[in-house]
Amino acid sequence: MAWPLDHSKARILISNDDGFYAPGLQVLVRIALSISDDVWVVAPETEQSGAGHSLTLRRPLQAREHQPNWYSVNGTPTDCVLLAVNLLMKEKRPDIVLSGVNRAGNLAEDMTYSGTVSAAMEATILGVPAIAFSQEVIDGEAADWTPAETYGPDLLRRILKQGFPANTLLNVNFPPVPAEQVKGIRVTAQGRRKNGDDIMEVIDPRGATHYWIGHMQSMRPYAPGSDLEAIDHGYISVTPIKMDMTDNETLSDLQQAFAPERATG
C-alpha cells in the first residue's frame, strides 16, 4: 500500500470483538463512511472479548450476509479478518482494516488479550494496514462514544495521510470523558500495569466452585509517555505496535553464547 492513501477511494474493512450488533461497531462505520463509500463489515456474530489472536480450527465457520458487504461470522475476530481478506473480498482486498470501536480501553498488557487488537494484528500479518480503536469507560457507567465520534474521522484522515510501516499496527484509545473535555492527541508507548487480577470465587447451587476473572489491578503513577498516562490525563492515545516481537539485544547475546566453538589444534 502506498502512502499517502487517497482516502476517498479507500476500500475499508471493519471488524471488532464486541460483536456484529455492538454500538461501537456502528460508531466505527460512521467514522469510515465519513471518508469513503467503500466500507465492508465482517464481524463476529457474538461478543468475543478477550479472545486474543485465536483462530478457529476444530469446527467449520459460516459467514452470514445481512446486507451487501455486511457479514457476521460465527468465529473470532481473527477468523473474520482472515475470511474477509482471503475470501469475501478476494477480488479486491481492503486498503485498510479498522477494528472496534471497542467498549473499554485496550491499553498496556490488554493488547495481548484483546480481540480488537488481534483483528488488526491479523490484517497486518496479511499485509493490510490496520488500526484498532477503543473507547475507555468508567466502571459502572455507560460508554460515552462522543470522543470517538468527534475525533475519529480527522484522526483517521491524518493517519492515512502520514502512513505507517509494514508489520506495524496502530492502537488508538479514546479517554473516558466527553468530547469537549478531550485535551488532545499523544503518540505513546505501550504501558505496563499488570500486577495481579481480581479473581472472585463463587459456589453454585450444587456446591461446585467457579471463578470469575475481574479487572487487572492498576498502580499509579503511570510511566511518562505511556498509553496509560495519556488516557489518565484525558488525551487520545496513539501507539504503534510492531508485529516482530524479537528481542534483538538478547538475540545477539544468545548468538554469541551458542556460537560454534572455533576448531583448535
DSSP collapsed to 3 states, 29-84:
HHHHHCCCCEEEEEEECCCCCCCCCCCCCCCCCCEEEEECCEEEECCCHHHHHHHH
Instruction: Specify the residue for cell string 485496550.
Output: 106
In this prediction, residue 262 carries a pLDDT of 52
In this prediction, residue 7 carries a pLDDT of 80
Which parts of the chain have pLDDT scores under 70? 1-2, 194-197, 215-219, 261-265
Helix (H, G, I), strand (E, B) or coil at 98: strand
In this prediction, residue 231 carries a pLDDT of 96
Task: For residue 241, count other CB atoms closer than 10 A to its CB.
Answer: 18
As a whole-number percent, the residues of the chain with pLDDT over 90 amount to 74
Return the bridge partners of 40, or none: 13
In this prediction, residue 195 carries a pLDDT of 53
Residue pair 62/75 in contact by the 8 Å Cβ criterion: no
CA distance 208 to 163: 53
In this prediction, residue 105 carries a pLDDT of 93
What CA dihedral angle connects 110, 111, 116 and 120, to 10 degrees?
A: 170
Q: pTM (2 decimals)?
A: 0.91
In this prediction, residue 219 carries a pLDDT of 67
Give the orientation angle of helix 23-33 with respect to helix 146-162, to 10 degrees: 40
